[in-house]
Each structure stands twice: as C-alpha cells, then as structure tokens.
Structure 1
Amino acid sequence: MQRPIPRRAILAGLAPIAGAPALAQPTPDAEAAWQALAEGGIALFRHAIAPGGGDPPGMRLGDCGTQRNLDEAGRAQARRIGATFRDRGIVVGAVRASAWCRAMETAELAFPGRARAEPAFNSFFGARQDQEARTAAARRLMLAWDGPGALFVATHQVNITALTSIFPASGEGVVLRRDGEALVVVGRIRP
C-alpha cells in the first residue's frame, strides 16, 4: 500500500517553482501580531469566505455578477475582522484592497467607507505572468507605509503566498513589519 504524501512536502516541492522559499519560517503567536499592528504594522488579509476557487469563465473586473463573491458566512467573517480590530483598539490608517469584488467587499464590510482599490494587490491567479510585477509593486507599497496606524490590505491567497510563503485561510491575516528594506512576518491572526 502506498502512503500518501504529506501536504507540507507537496507545498515545499512547489514553492521553488513559484519563486518562494521552500518552507515558510515559523511565525510567532497571534498576540505578537496584534502588538505589531498596534505599532503601525501591516495586515495582509485573504478575502473572507467566497465559496469555490478562481473565477468563472468570462469574469470581468468591475462586474461582481461575473465573479466568485462572498457568501453570508464570508460577509459575517468580514464584519468580524473589523470588529476585532476595533475591540483591540487597533488604529487603521489606510484600507487597501484588490479590485476583485470579494476583496473590496471584505475591506468595505470590515472598515465601512474606507476601502480603496490598489492594483498592486489584484489577483494573478489566472495570469501568472503578472506575479513578479504585482508582488514587487505590493512590496514597494508596503515598504513605503509609515502610518499613522496600521495598513490593512484585503487581497488573495496567491498574492500573500508570493509575498510571505504562507498559504492563509479565507479571512486570515498575515501581519508584517518593516525592518529596514525588508518585510518581516510577525504572525498570523484569525479574528
């Protein structure tokens, strides 16, 4: 009988193909991540629950009816993200999101009236040729962040994985801080 290959081994084998390190560095606990946000860190959130994967054929940016969107559980999750930031007293200086409807809706439900589309965080799931340019643009934008407050970004798994080597769940955040010209993963949070 053949033994199944562990998921971690599969991901480690694929990481070099995507240009990421073979294994993600272990991350400290969530409390350290919340502390980094209180000090003006960066929260990269995968959009809230949107059932399925990728987008349907014929998807058009700007037309939510052609995209995979949040369901009721996803909308509740997005509201919970914002509520947790408020409950913890995290001051959010800016809210950016991919232009995909599920990312914009996540940001808008978490922080009403504050979401602004930022192309650097647009998905490249269906356009892998854009990965390097989008990842570089996102990194530049985050390295330029100097507050005040934390930067909140709603984006996609592929974008977060390209930037951090972490594969986040829907509605999960990866918290970063600047260290000179580097972005350092502080931890992961799931409000």
Structure 2
Amino acid sequence: MLQRRLLLGAALASPWARAAGEDAEALLRRGGVVIAFRHALAPGTFDPPGFRVGDCSTQRNLNDEGRAQARRIGEWFAQRSLKPERVLSSPWCRCVDTATLAFGAPQVDATLGSPRGYSEATSAESLRALRRSLAAASSRSGRFEVWVTHMFVLSALVGQGSSSGEGLVLRARTTGAAKGEIEVLARLAIA
C-alpha cells in the first residue's frame, strides 16, 4: 500500500499533517467549499516560447511522478468516498491531466487558465468570474467542487502560494460585512 502523508503548509510534523487531512475531509463532507488544486508535478517553470494551449506537445506536462501524484489524490478521495459535485480544470494539459487522473474527465474552464500570455484585463475578468463561482459553490451545503489550476491563479485569488498537487479548501463568505471575502480553510497535500 502506498504510504501517504498529509501536509499542512510546509509543516512536516505528523501531528500537524494528520490534523490537516482531517480538517480538509470534514470541510469537504460539510460542503459549501471548493478545493482548488495546483496541478501535479510538471518539472520546469513556465511554458516554452510559442506554446499553444490546445497542443500538449508545446507545453510543460506532468512527468511520471506528477501522474502518480494525481492518481494518489484520486485515491485519497475514493478511500473516503468523497465525490465532488463537479470538477473544473484549466485548459492547460498539465491541469486537465491532473484532473483526469484524479477524478475522471473534467469540465474545462478558461477562467482557471494561467494568466501568462493573456492581458491583465482578461486575468482580472477571470478572477471576478472565479470569485462569483466560488460564492455560488459556497452557498451549496453538502456539496463541494474541485478546481485544478495554476500557482499564479491561486496566488492571485487568495494571496497564497501552493505546491504542486496541493489543494486549498476555499470558501467565500456569504453574509456580513466580509461578504465575498475568500477564506483558505485548510490545505491538503497528498505525498
């Protein structure tokens, strides 16, 4: 059986790791959240010059370790009988492949795409759309969504970085003065 460790942020101490996984699992069961994953391991930085979103041969892709990581994510969810209401993915191949290996074929959503290569206006428009989608998902108790995206998107959305294959459990506040504010409730990394 594969050994798994759940990590809270960069903490590697087992008491924290155990608590992080339990918190994420409880939040997913309660619903009204999105778990937004950075794609699994795809070595390198940025896509090569002249890459095309629809052509995987021109992009940075998952390696064997990244594909195994994506499968472990899916196994973690399956072992806990956690089934997302829907799975959305950036159109980049490394995101689609992560989502497919973990959960099955995703719905491709351009708003989850990396802002590199797009105008700042498009990025701002995409972030507004993601905030609206997160607010809608946050109002649905008992259900959760999975998003697979990029470090840049997660950083712009919540102001925090993430590791390859790490998921951030997100919720938008639905009431009060902080309505619409995005909260990172838990972090989930399956090693």
- For Structure 1 versus Structure 2, the TM-score category normalised by the shorter chain is 0.7 to 0.9
In the alignment, what sits opposite 1:116? 107
What's the secondary structure of 2:114's corresponding residue?
coil
CA distance change for structure 1 residues 93 and 162 in 2, over 3 Å: closer, same or farther?
same
Check the 8 A contact 2:40/2:95 in 1, yes or no.
yes
What's the secondary structure of 2:132's corresponding residue?
helix
Deviations 1:103-160 (A, max 9, x none): 00000000123x0100110110343613312111111111112366210000000000
Query: Residue 44 of structure 2 is aligned with which of 34, 44, 52?
Result: 52
What's the secondary structure of 1:89's corresponding residue?
coil
In the alignment, what sits opposite 1:70? 62
What's the secondary structure of 1:90's corresponding residue?
coil
In the alignment, what sits opposite 1:170? 164
In the alignment, what sits opposite 1:32? 23
Query: Residue 125 of structure 1 is aligned with which of 113, 116, 138?
Result: 116
Structure 1's unaligned 5+ residue stretches are: 1-27
Check the 8 A contact 1:42/1:176 in 2, yes or no.
yes
What's the secondary structure of 1:92's corresponding residue?
coil
Deviations 1:39-71 (A, max 9, x none): 122101000000101100110111000000000
1:179 aligns with 2:178: no
What's the secondary structure of 1:127's corresponding residue?
coil
Distance (whole Å) between structure 2 residues aligned to residue 182 and residue 163 of structure 1: 10
**Larger displacement relative to structure 2 (149-158 or 178-187):** 178-187
Distance (whole Å) between structure 2 residues aligned to residue 86 and residue 171 of structure 1: 16
TM-score of the aligned structures, taking structure 2 as reference length = 0.80
Distance (whole Å) between structure 2 residues aligned to residue 148 and residue 117 of structure 1: 23
Identity %: 39
Distance (whole Å) between structure 1 residues aligned to residue 142 and residue 51 of structure 2: 36
Length, aligned pairs only:
163
AA matched with 1:184:
E
TM-score of the aligned structures, taking structure 1 as reference length = 0.80
Deviations 1:21-53 (A, max 9, x none): xxxxxxx94422221111122101000000101
Check the 8 A contact 1:157/1:167 in 2, yes or no.
yes
CA distance change for structure 1 residues 175 and 128 in 2, over 3 Å: closer, same or farther?
farther
CA distance change for structure 1 residues 137 and 116 in 2, over 3 Å: closer, same or farther?
same
